[in-house]
Amino acid sequence: MFNDEVQEVITLPSSWKVERSLNDASCQTRNISYSESATQSSYTAEIDIQTEDESSERISPRFIEDNSKALSNFLLRVYPDICEQLKENEKSHAFDGYDVNWEDEIDTITCPYTLSHKAAVQEELEVTSVTWNCRGSVIAAAYGRHDHESWCTHKSVLCTWNIEMKQLDTSKADIALEVDSCLMSIAFNPENPPIIVGGTFSGEVLIWDLSQDDDNFFVCSSKNIELHQEPITKVVWLEEPISSRARKYKLVSVSTDGRAFIWEYDHIGKSLKIEQGFLLLAASMPKGIMKSKLRGDAEMGVTCISFMKDDPDIFVLGSESGGVFKCSVNSTTIPSGITNSGVDLRSPVTLSLQPHSGPVYAVNCSPFHRNVILSCGMDATANIYSLLQMKPLFTLEPEAGYIFNAQWSQTRALVFFLSTENGKLLIYDLKASQVKPAHSIDVNTEKMPVYAMEINSKRSQLIATGDAKGDICIWSLNDDLINFTQKEVSALENMASAMLD
């Protein structure tokens, strides 16, 4: 069916390659031309250097010898005059309170910080006292109550905030220390930033060292019947006379038991010891003003104290009876009718000023005039006194309820601050008006009392207030309220002198 068959070979010529052809063509560029020119360099010149050859072995420098006595004669001639002028400058107060302001000018008063401790606010505790540390960076607040009917049964808290911290918690304190009795007054040490003292409602003086993480409680005054037996209303630090390069401070406490104590404390031995004691009696009130039923040897509760800046031996006391008294640390008067006291008590009063008609809540000595003081109290008035006369120089009536605090500006002689019952911070500038405040600031919208107030001594533009809500407001003042002028010091002196005539 299938057979083999052979066919012829068929050849097909390949056509996939084509012979290439070549052509020559010139490129389309122009000929490059070259040219040469001289450089624009300046002419050079050679000069000799103005030095002399020195021997390689010489190491010490050569100085021009001046055998004339012109310089020494000049120094000897001007030395006495310069020394005399430096001594005069040391006595000058021209730049007292002057603080260089490196920041931009500020025209408004602002509140950059509002602080509170949530746990204390929940317990309905009030801010009873505030204080700045000596560096001006930490604010401390004492939480307690003012409405005690008998003995204190509250737990109070000491809180601190560092306003320079980037992670500042405005609703929780950096440090919160619980205290068994209400803290009524606190004060940072003026030289040692972590040391803080407090006075309690139960009459104890407490000291803490906040630099210690584990055991920051430093010392507590003993519960001795000879010491404070009633609430401590104010604690302050008193600088000792300068005896060495290091500044040393004593403690001062006053109480509603009528006693004022100067304490010497030992930081190493952790002890407190009374150095001096004073007792305020009703007999110190001006004659004709003291109530007839009140015995002269009855104790008057002390509510506040302030020491003179230039003379720490002189201080001013305010009392529950409304009295304002000029006192001396060097008093030797023994109070009458005092027996069986283990502490040597003296009557400190040297001058009785015209009193307020109710308890005095604050007194403050002017940092610019040795005889001018400021006081305020329950009678809703603020008095400015001269310690050279009994009657006030003038009286202010802001109509803002009780005035709980009064403090002079540290940089302006005619400016002072008041905190009131209806929640206001009043700023008076006597240069502008002796009647109306220059600024009236609502510290809180609920019109709750502002019990505490303190100016920052390092940052004069900052002032802190503490109120019954438990809030601490830090206010930044405008430049007009803090810029120092020497003319104001003279104006205050003239004002005090004119009203004495």
Is residue 279 scored above 90 in pLDDT?
Answer: yes
Q: In what order do the strands lie in the sheet with 450-455?
A: 110-115, 472-476, 462-467, 450-455
Tell me which range, 53-67, 229-243, 302-316, is most confidently predicted by mean pLDDT: 302-316
The answer, as to whether pTM is greater than 0.85, is no
More confident call, 169 vs 104: 169
Contacting residues for 49 by C-beta, under 8 A, at least 6 apart: none
Contacting residues for 211 by C-beta, under 8 A, at least 6 apart: 194
Is residue 229 scored above 80 in pLDDT?
Answer: yes
Is residue 64 scored above 80 in pLDDT?
Answer: no
Strands 271-279 and 345-346: parallel
Decide: 323 and 291 in contact? Cβ < 8 Å. Answer: no
More confident call, 34 vs 97: 34
| Residues across the chain | 501
Is residue 18 scored above 60 in pLDDT?
Answer: no
Contacting residues for 415 by C-beta, under 8 A, at least 6 apart: 408, 409, 427, 428, 429, 430, 431, 438, 481
How far apart (Å, rounded) are the C-alpha atoms in residues 419 and 453? 7
Closest CA to 491 of 426, 424, 434, 421: 434
Distances (CA, A) of 270 to 30, 208, 227, 273, 470: 101, 11, 18, 10, 32
Q: pLDDT class for 335, splitting at 50, 70, 90?
A: confident
Is residue 163 scored above 80 in pLDDT?
Answer: yes
Residues 400, 320, 125, 252: what is their CA dihedral angle, to the nearest 10 degrees?
Answer: 120
- For the chain, what are the domain ranges? 113-500
- Taking residues 84-98, report their average pLDDT: 78
- Residue 409 is predicted with a pLDDT of 95
Contacting residues for 488 by C-beta, under 8 A, at least 6 apart: 368, 412, 413, 414, 431
Mean of all residue pLDDT scores within the chain: 85
Q: pLDDT class for 413, splitting at 50, 70, 90?
A: very high
| Percent residues over pLDDT 70 in the chain | 80
Distances (CA, A) of 224 to 179, 205, 213, 453: 19, 12, 30, 31
Query: How far does Cα 100 stand from its chain's mean position?
Result: 16
- Residue 245 is predicted with a pLDDT of 58
Distances (CA, A) of 359 to 128, 144, 258, 377: 17, 20, 13, 6
Handedness of CA 330, 333, 334, 337 (dihedral sign): negative
Is residue 3 scored above 80 in pLDDT?
Answer: no
Tens of pLDDT, residue by residue over 442-499, are 999 999 999 999 999 999 999 999 999 999 999 999 988 988 888 899 999 988 887 6
- Taking residues 345-357, report their average pLDDT: 93
How far apart (Å, rounded) are the C-alpha atoms in residues 415 and 429? 5
Contacting residues for 125 by C-beta, under 8 A, at least 6 apart: 143, 144, 145, 154, 156, 157, 470
Handedness of CA 267, 268, 274, 275 (dihedral sign): negative
Decide: 407 and 455 in contact? Cβ < 8 Å. Answer: yes
Distances (CA, A) of 86 to 71, 75, 81, 193: 21, 15, 9, 32
How far apart (Å, rounded) are the C-alpha atoms in residues 188 and 85? 37
- Residue 356 is predicted with a pLDDT of 95
- Give the DSSP H/E element, type plus range, for residue 121: helix 118-122
Q: Count each helix (H run) and each strand (E run) in the chain, helices first.
A: 3, 29
User: Which CATH number does the domain 113-500 belong to among 2.160.10.10, 3.40.50.720, 3.10.50.40, 2.130.10.10?
Assistant: 2.130.10.10
Is residue 128 scored above 70 in pLDDT?
Answer: yes
Is residue 55 scored above 60 in pLDDT?
Answer: no
Decide: 394 and 430 in contact? Cβ < 8 Å. Answer: no
DSSP string, 76-113: HHHHHHHHHHHHHHHH--TTTT-----SPP--S-EEEE
